[in-house]
Structure 1
Amino acid sequence: MAARIDLTLDCMDAQLLAQFWKTALGYIDEPPPAPFETRAEWLAQFDLPDDESEDDGAWLCDPDGAGPRLSLLKVPEPKAAKNRLHIDVRVPGHGRPAERWARITRESERLVKAGGNVLEVFDGHHMVMADPEGNEFCVAAAAAED
């Protein structure tokens, strides 16, 4: 049996990045673990330092349960280098190369409006983008089996 993974992204503003990644991935806020009714109730058990708050983290999930969970956690230091691991946002649909490229282009334009930036274009194949804090990700067509 394969292990399931969650992704954790260090950040400066968890709420800003949560909004971006919910838009990018179609994810939703993950409910707190049972038996807790709210995230604040769940966090209270950890006796957080006075300088930390509920807004310092965000927890997202795929509403269909297929994709990995995404945790966004505030850290004191800024991003300093290129990501060693990045997210690929796969645009659904098939068709001719020009049709796939048009979907990739539309998706990247949508994500720019949400606060992302295009860093590099590999014409006809994929685009390298960055979220509002500079974390790199790619926008590409879905694989044939998706």
Structure 2
Amino acid sequence: MTAIEFQVTFDAHDPGRQALFWAEALGYRLQPPPGDFTSWDDALDAWGVPPEARNSRSAIVPEEGESGPRVFFQQVPEEKSVKNRVHLDLRVAPGLSGDDRAAAHEEAAERLVAAGATVVRRVPPSQEMGDGSFIVMADPEGNEFCLD
């Protein structure tokens, strides 16, 4: 079977802010405007999108030459009400263990807190998980993700 292209979609109150946060978190960039448009404002002007509707969606894509799914943010009116059933694990410490793993987690957590995330809890290594420590975080709108 041929692999299916997919994107990850987040419901959001502020798609622009969420896009900026997740671009920082994932090492992505805002999706550039299409075609010959030099900015999104030019594109939205040409399409007749009123200013009050311009933050209804946003998207981020991998940096040029990198691969990964497009991440799309769509504005919704309702609040997040329960724990996510699906979440992203950001692999910030692949191949590391012990103090090096913990340091990579803390460095990433500091960077993401500065970008608007919050630390929910730190999960230390355990006998059941071996060296599998991780940090549970929430993005600016409360969506949980892990630093793994």
TM class, shorter-length? 0.7 to 0.9
Partner Cα distance (2:4, 2:45) in 1: 26
| Structure 2 residue ranges without an equivalent (≥5) | 126-132
Amino acid corresponding to residue 18 of structure 2 in structure 1: L
Partner of 1:74: 75
Q: CA deviation at 1:35?
A: 6.1
Partner Cα distance (1:119, 1:106) in 2: 16
- TM-score between the two structures when normalised by the length of structure 2: 0.80
Question: Can you list the C-alpha shifts for 1:8-57, whole angstroms capped at 9, x where unaligned?
Answer: 10000111111211111111011234466544536965x76x69512221
| Structure 1 residue ranges without an equivalent (≥5) | 141-146
Across the aligned residues of Structure 1 and Structure 2, the Cα RMSD in angstroms comes to: 2.2
Q: CA deviation at 1:97?
A: 2.3
Query: Could you tell which deviates more after superposition, 10-19 or 93-102?
Result: 93-102
Partner of 1:9: 10
Partner of 1:144: none
2:145 pairs, out of 115, 133, 137, with 137
Query: Could you tell which deviates more after superposition, 59-68 or 125-134?
Result: 59-68
Count of aligned residue pairs for this structure pair? 138
Partner Cα distance (2:30, 2:45) in 1: 15
Aligned with 2:91: secondary structure? strand
- TM-score between the two structures when normalised by the length of structure 1: 0.81
What are the within-5 Å matches in structure 2 for residues 1-146 of structure 1?
1-34=2-35, 38-40=39-41, 41=43, 53-63=53-63, 64-92=65-93, 94-124=95-125, 125-140=133-148
Amino acid corresponding to residue 60 of structure 2 in structure 1: L
Partner Cα distance (2:144, 2:45) in 1: 29
Extract structure 1 runs of 4+ deviating beyond 2 A: 32-45, 92-97
Identity %: 37
Question: Can you list the C-alpha shifts for 1:41-79, whole angstroms capped at 9, x where unaligned?
Answer: 36965x76x695122211100113411111111111111
Partner Cα distance (1:44, 1:86) in 2: 36
Partner Cα distance (2:76, 2:45) in 1: 17
Amino acid corresponding to residue 107 of structure 1 in structure 2: A
Q: Do the aligned partners of 1:36 and 1:42 also contact (CA within 8 Å) in 2? A: no
Partner Cα distance (2:44, 2:139) in 1: 28
